Structure 1
Amino acid sequence: MHSSADASPPTRKKNWQEIVAPYQQPKLSHSLWQVANTFIPYAIMLYLMYLSLGVSYWLTLLLSVPAGGLLTRIFILFHDCGHGSFFKSQRANNILGIICGLCVFTPYYQWRFEHAVHHATSGDLDRRGVGDIYTLTVREYLELSRWDRLKYRLYRSPVVMLGIGPWYTFLISQRFVNPISRRRERLSVYFSNLAIVVILLVMWATIGVPAYLMIQLPVAFFAGLGGIWMFYIQHQFEGTYWAEHEEWDYATAALRGSSYFKLPKVLQWFTGNIGFHHIHHLSSRIPNYALQRCMMENPEFMDVTTITLWSSIKSLRLNLWDENQRQLVSFGDLKQLSQQQRIA
Structure 2
Amino acid sequence: MSEPKQMQLKKSVAPYEHSELNVSIRQLFNTLLPLAVLWYGAYWSLSISYWLTLVFVVATSFFVIRAFIIFHDCCHGSFFKSKRANDIMGIITGVLTLVPYQQWKNAHAIHHATSSNLDKRGVGDLWILTVEEYAASSWKQKLAYRIYRNPFIMFGLGPIFVFLFQYRFNRKGARRKERMNTYLMNVLIVAVYALMCWAIGWQAFVLVQGPIFYLSGVLGVWLFYVQHQFEDSYFEHEEEWSYVKAAVDGSSYYKLPKLFQWLTGNIGFHHVHHLSPKVPNYYLETAHDAVPPLHKATTITIRQSLESLKFRLWDEEGKRFVSFKAVKDRLRQPSPLGGATSAGNPSKAS
Task: Compute the TM-score of the two structures, normalised by the length of structure 1.
Answer: 0.93
Instruction: Indicate the residue corresponding to 1:222 in structure 2.
Output: 215
What is the alpha-carbon root mean square deviation over aligned residues?
A: 1.6
For 1:269 and 1:172, how far apart are their aligned partners in 2? 29
Residue 49 of structure 2 corresponds to residue 46 of structure 1:
no
* Counterpart AA for 1:271: T
* Pair 1:205–1:243, CA change in 2 (3 A): same
How many Å apart are 1:114 and its aligned residue? 0.5
* Segment of structure 1 superposing worse, 160-169 or 32-41: 160-169
Instruction: Indicate the residue corresponding to 1:70 in structure 2.
Output: 63
Instruction: Indicate the residue corresponding to 1:115 in structure 2.
Output: 108
Native 8 Å contact 1:200 1:209 kept in 2: no
Structure 1, residues 204-227: CA drift from partner, whole Å, max 9, x if none? 321112211111111111211111
How do residues 187-336 of structure 1 correspond to structure 2 at under 5 angstroms? 187-336=180-329
Residue 125 of structure 2 corresponds to residue 125 of structure 1:
no
Q: Secondary structure at the match of 1:26?
A: coil
Q: Secondary structure at the match of 1:257?
A: coil
**4+ residue runs over 4 A deviation:** 339-344
Q: Secondary structure at the match of 2:321?
A: strand
For 2:195 and 2:80, how far apart are their aligned partners in 1? 31
How many Å apart are 1:74 and its aligned residue? 0.2
Give the length in aligned residue pairs. Answer: 333
**Among 3, 8, 11, which residue is 1:18 paired with?**
11
For 2:30 and 2:193, how far apart are their aligned partners in 1? 26
For 1:203 and 1:120, how far apart are their aligned partners in 2? 39
Q: Secondary structure at the match of 1:321?
A: strand
Q: How many percent of aligned residue pairs carry the same amino acid?
A: 47
Q: Secondary structure at the match of 2:119?
A: helix
* Counterpart AA for 2:171: N
Greater CA radius of gyration, 1 or 2? 1
For 1:88 and 1:195, how far apart are their aligned partners in 2? 25
For 2:86 and 2:237, how far apart are their aligned partners in 1? 34
For 1:236 and 1:335, how far apart are their aligned partners in 2? 20
For 1:23 and 1:341, how far apart are their aligned partners in 2? 51
* Counterpart AA for 1:246: E
For 1:343 and 1:122, how far apart are their aligned partners in 2? 27
Structure 1, residues 78-109: CA drift from partner, whole Å, max 9, x if none? 00000000111111111111000000011101
Instruction: Indicate the residue corresponding to 1:7 in structure 2.
Output: none
Gaps of 5+ in 2: 338-350
Instruction: Indicate the residue corresponding to 1:155 in structure 2.
Output: 148
For 2:334 and 2:250, how far apart are their aligned partners in 1? 25
Instruction: Indicate the residue corresponding to 2:93 in structure 1.
Output: 100
For 1:304 and 1:337, how far apart are their aligned partners in 2? 30
Structure 1, residues 98-150: CA drift from partner, whole Å, max 9, x if none? 00000001110110000000000000001111111110111221222223212
Native 8 Å contact 1:255 1:304 kept in 2: yes
For 1:316 and 1:207, how far apart are their aligned partners in 2? 39
Native 8 Å contact 2:79 2:86 kept in 1: yes
Q: Secondary structure at the match of 2:173?
A: coil
For 2:152 and 2:335, how far apart are their aligned partners in 1? 32
For 1:134 and 1:180, how far apart are their aligned partners in 2? 20
* Pair 1:29–1:334, CA change in 2 (3 A): same
* Segment of structure 1 superposing worse, 123-132 or 324-333: 324-333
* Segment of structure 1 superposing worse, 118-127 or 204-213: 204-213
Gaps of 5+ in 1: 1-11
* Pair 1:193–1:307, CA change in 2 (3 A): same
Task: Compute the TM-score of the two structures, normalised by the length of structure 2.
Answer: 0.92
